[in-house]
Amino acid sequence: MRTRKHGPPNEPRWKLILRTKKSTLAAQLLGALTTCTGFLTLLIDPVPLIRNYGMGVAMSVMVSWFLTSVWIIPLMLLLPLPRPRKWVYQPARWALWVIIHRRSVVISTIIACGALTYLGRHLYWTGRLFDDLPKGQETRRTTERLTRQWEASCLCKSSFNRQRRKPGPILPASLNWIGY
């Protein structure tokens, strides 16, 4: 937020607030619209649950932006203006440290990514999340369809492995009723 240091010295409070709001309104609207558009792309999905989720989040984002834009000016007129703390005017030390030590940061990031990739190469994941739902329920059918597609694509991508794994996790005999 702009402070009195950036504007005329005797500028009234309401002009300061309006000038600040005008300078940030376009950026805030663009941020809300791009997020809304991203979630609206879910409307082309054939699954009703995903379409409803996309519509709900897109509407929530735009309603939140509108209410924030409408109510922020009266609230700022009623409440005291925020005062920036001293550290706001100081350079960001962590950012300067990263810039100064950029080679070490890049190398350590590459090593960490490589180590985590190596450690996670034997992980097995399945998308069977909604097995407790009724057979004809849309969410369960969608999950089962995605599971079949992902397992098929994972098998194609990992077919070069020498050992063939059993599908699904290994369960104790007492848990066989789950159906894996």
String of b and e for 111-132 (b: at least 16 CB within 10 Å)? eeeeeeeeeeeeeeeeebeeee
11/147 Cα distance (integer angstroms): 62
Domain boundaries in the chain? 13-90, 104-167
Angle between helices 138-157 and 48-78 (to 10 degrees): 100
Tell me the whole-structure pTM to 2 decimals: 0.47
pLDDT tens track for 86-138: 877 887 888 888 999 999 999 999 999 999 999 888 776 655 555 667 777 77
Q: What is the pLDDT of residue 6?
A: 59
